[in-house]
Structure formats: C-alpha cells, structure tokens
Chains A and B, each alone.
Chain A
C-alpha cells in the first residue's frame, strides 16, 4: 500500500508538469502564468514568494528556465528524485510533439493557419505574462526600496544588453546592504 502511494505522488508530479509543458507557448516566461495557476493555486505546492525565488535563480543559472523551475518545485516536494521527475514531466510533451512534427511535416511553421493561430496566441501570452508580473509585484515590492530595485532592474533590463546574472547579483547585494543598514539603525 505504501509503495502504491509513493508511486502515485510521483505520477501526480509528472502529470502536472507534463500538463504545464503542453500549455506553455513560447519561452520559460510563458510558463509563469501556467505555473502560478497549476502549482500555486491548484496544488498549493509553493507560495508566490517561492515561485518568484525559483524564477530569479532559474534565470541566472545555466540552462532552460522551465527546467530549472521544474527541478526546484520537484525537489522541494520530494527531494532529488522529485526534481528529476518534474523535469521529465515538463520535457515529455515536447519530445512527443516535436518528434511527430519533425517526422511528418516539413513545413509546419509555413502553414497559413499555424502562422495565424500563433500570432493570436502571442498576443494572449503577452497579456498572461503581464498579469503574472502584476501578481508577482504585489508580493515582491513591499516598500519604497523594493520599488526602486524593481524600477531600476525593469529599466536596465529594457535598455541595457547585459546578462540577467548582473542584475541578480547586484540586487542580492543591495538587499543585504539595505537590510543590514536598517538593523544597525534600529
């Protein structure tokens, strides 16, 4: 009986991330609104802050953000094996879909209806990510100083062509310095 429930929890993790993989259109960012819905609101596996933390680290560590985030969530739930299972889940649909398309259709992206449908999807993904950012804002911008950090990184990210690593390291340092000064003052 115990083994059965063990298997079941890994299966649930796999299926949830496979669903997330299917519903992601675009890069790792497009996954954020789906993750918020499935992992946070439906399953309560992480809090909003944790998801933001995973995304922050996932952006500045090597590899694909979707995989990094999936590994984090899986690891948090069931350790290293959980991390591996969640990652297998998130890549599984891609393996199937791309293998079928690559094997059968040469000019998939040239098909008129595919181009039109994707152009529509892209508009939707913009709005979904925008909504996800607004949700994150409520949790991450908690005072004037965090507002300044957010605005600086937003502007810098738009205007400068530098690696996200730079922003992540600087903002972590800023967090430590600002909080340390506050402690000293008190």
Chain B
C-alpha cells in the first residue's frame, strides 16, 4: 500500500525535521534512497521548483515528492502526513501556553525568548542577503575581486526597494506582494538570473 507508506514516511519527516522547510531536505533524500521512489537529481529539480513557486518551501517539497510518487492523491497524502505532527504538537503547546500565559516564569521566559527569536530571524535574513547579493566566489586565496564581489544590479534593486518600503509616504503602505511583483518584472527585464 504505497499511500500508507507515503503517509508514514512524511509523518516521520514532519515529526523529526526541526527548523523549517529546508530541514526536511536530508529526510527527503533519505526517503528517495531507501525506497527508490525518486533519484537525488530528481529531488534537486523538485527543490528548484519549490523555491521558485509560491508557497512555503517545505510544503511545496512534500507536495511535489508526493505527486512524483503517486499523483494527486500522493501529493495530498504526503502533505497531510508532513503537517499532522506539527498540528498536534502546536495544539498541545498552545493549550499549555493558554493555561500558563500569566504565569510569572512563562512571562520571564518570553522576555528572553523574543529577542532571541528576532536574532534567529535576523541571522536567517543575513544568510539570505549574502546568498542573494554577494558572490562568495570573488573572495579567494588570490585576494578579493572587488568588482565581482557584489551582485550590483541586485544591490541597486535592494536599495530602491528599501527606500520605497520604508521612507516613501504612499508606497510604504503598499502590500508586500506589490513589491514582489515589481521585483519579478525587474528581474525578467534586466535578466537577474543571467538566463
């Protein structure tokens, strides 16, 4: 029964992968290897598509792998399998939190947790910025190739977006999706992907 096996494999992935969608990748690689459902290069292709379509990467990956293995029912079953542990765990935590929301120690813990959460998101953000705007290849033993160090077109777009999302009166209230749309058009017109 491939559906049952699919559900079980993704249930385990959802239960053990901590830290978001990218953390599921090693689990998915393992599933491919142990079942022979898909190859590693197929998985890499699925990752590329998941990264360039709307929706959280982790969900896109689960849907794509499930679809590859067993069509549309497979896509649904893999996704349901992956989210089931999260839902159960979060519902339990939420219930406990509600009970102890005004407990002194819970409040103290969140006093430390909030800046840490912001720090973690900030670190992830720094990682994405470096990946997007800096060419790490330009730094080598021979020295730094300054002209090639930054993705200059990207940097200019980033600067413009920063200004329009923060300091220009009418545009800073615009919905984020508008900026995403504009950036996509700019990317196509100026061939940001080099393609």
Q: When each residue 82-98 of chain A gets 1 if its CB lies under 8 Å from chain B and 0 otherwise, what string results?
A: 01100100110111011
A51-70 residues with Cβ-Cβ distance < 8 A to B are: 52-53, 55-68
Do most interface residues of chain B lie in helix, strand or loop, or is the interface mixed?
helix
List the one stretch of B1-9, B28-36, B75-83, B141-149 in contact with chain A: B75-83
B120 touching A118 by the CB < 8 A rule? Answer: no
How many residues on chain B are close to A (CB under 8 Å)? 93
> Which residues does chain B contribute within 8 Å of A57, judged by CB atoms?
90, 93
Q: A119 interface residue, CB < 8 Å from B?
A: yes
B20→A123 contact, CB < 8 A: no
Report the bound CA distance from A61 to B126 in whole Å: 22
Which residues of chain A come closer than 8 Å to B91, judged between CB atoms?
71, 75, 80, 83
Instruction: Please tell me the number of chain A residues within 8 Å of chain B, measured between CB atoms.
Output: 106
Counting CB contacts under 8 A, is A109 at the interface?
yes
Would you call B89 and A62 a contact (CB within 8 A)? yes
The CB with the most chain A CB atoms within 10 A, among B76, B105, B176, is that of B176
**What's the least CB distance linking A62 to chain B, in Å?**
5
B64 touches A98 (CB 8 A): yes
Within the complex, what minimum Cβ distance (angstroms) separates A64 from chain B?
Answer: 4
Instruction: Please name the residue on chain B nearest to A60 by beta carbon.
Output: B18
Whether A90 touches B114, Cβ cut-off 8 Å, given contacts A57-B93, A83-B87, is: no
Contact sample, A vs B, 11 pairs, CB 8 Å cutoff: A26-B51, A63-B15, A65-B19, A67-B59, A71-B94, A80-B91, A91-B83, A97-B60, A98-B50, A102-B68, A127-B165
Ordered nearest first, which 5 A-B pairs have the shortest CB separation? A120-B187, A175-B112, A157-B123, A153-B119, A63-B86
